[in-house]
Amino acid sequence: MLKLMDYMISPYPVRIIDPKVEAARLRLKSIRVGQAGHLPGRTLFRSGVTFEHWALVYIVAGDGTYTENGGPEQQVHEGSLFFFRPGYSYSFGPPPGGYWDEYYINFSGSRVTEWLEAGMIAGGEVTRGDKAEGLKASFEKVLAYMAGDVPGDADRAALLLEEMLLECSLQLQGSRRPWQQEAMPLIREALNACIYEQPDLPGMAERLHLSMSTLRRTVRRSSGYPLHEYIHRLKMAEAKHLLLNTSLQVQEIAGMLHYRDSFYFSRLFKKYMGLSPQTCRNHL
């Protein structure tokens, strides 16, 4: 009968895949997937562990705890997602007599800085990943890509990892701000409906049961643009449509969109569309 030692990761076979392609053979230089693994039925709890690279960890079954740098102990359940950061100390794993099923991918490269700035990765917090569609299947696909020695597959694994991180971060944003997800489509519809008018923003906010500050904040958080710029961009997109599909003169289009000064309209169009109205009409 097989005897399980107390330092073994799991009573079941585990998959731990190390990179098989030299970094020089990769086309994507800014990010590299390192070791990836699937640890079904993990029973091992680790204390005070540090890692050299970032790692994304997804728990598909079971439960346990996660602590970063001696901070508060956080509960881990089925569907939990968390990161390891290089140089930080971690204690993590299932309780005595318990287990969890774990997928992980570690990664490194200059692109990590961009992911941090975009909020796609963050340390020290257990979040939910089970709403990200097909996340388990994506981990399996990364494992399959990394199992061979094809440089293109290693690059595909890196691209898939970025897609996974983006999807998880969008899901997390949505769970933290459900009101914004519900409000923004209504705001966009209301603004599109008054492209050919001078929008009554206070009246619009009142009809949507929002304050003006909430209206501005929702547009900014969703689009990245201040409210007034978002409205200009909607109008310039409509102006481009009219330039390409009608014979209306620039001055006429400006007036229809409630820009009294056609020169001001042309400056805005070039600012947001990247070319003048006349160039848009003649060369697109």
Return the higher-pLDDT residue of 253 and 176: 253
User: What distance in Å separates the CA atoms of residue 121 and residue 81, rounded to the nearest whole number?
Assistant: 11
Q: Say whether pTM exceeds 0.75.
A: no
User: What distance in Å separates the CA atoms of residue 201 and residue 114, rounded to the nearest whole number?
Assistant: 35
Cβ-count burial 194-223 (b if 16+ within 10 Å, e if not): bbeeebebeebbeebebeeebbbebbeebe
Does the residue 4 lie in any domain? no
| Residue ending a domain, choose from 176, 208, 225 | 176
> For residue 101, what is the domain's CATH number?
2.60.120.280
Question: The domain containing residue 76 runs over which residues?
Answer: 15-176
- For residue range 103-153, what is the model confidence (pLDDT) as tens digits? 999 999 999 999 987 888 888 899 987 766 689 999 999 999 999 999 999
The owner of tokens 């399980």 is 4
**Number of domains making up the chain:** 2
Q: Residue 111's pLDDT is what?
A: 92
- For residue range 23-73, what is the model confidence (pLDDT) as tens digits? 899 999 999 999 999 999 999 999 999 999 999 999 999 999 999 999 999
Return the higher-pLDDT residue of 208 and 57: 57
Does the residue 9 lie in any domain? no
In this structure, are 123 and 243 located in the same domain?
A: no
User: What distance in Å separates the CA atoms of residue 189 and residue 143, rounded to the nearest whole number?
Assistant: 43
> For residue 277, what is the domain's CATH number?
1.10.10.60
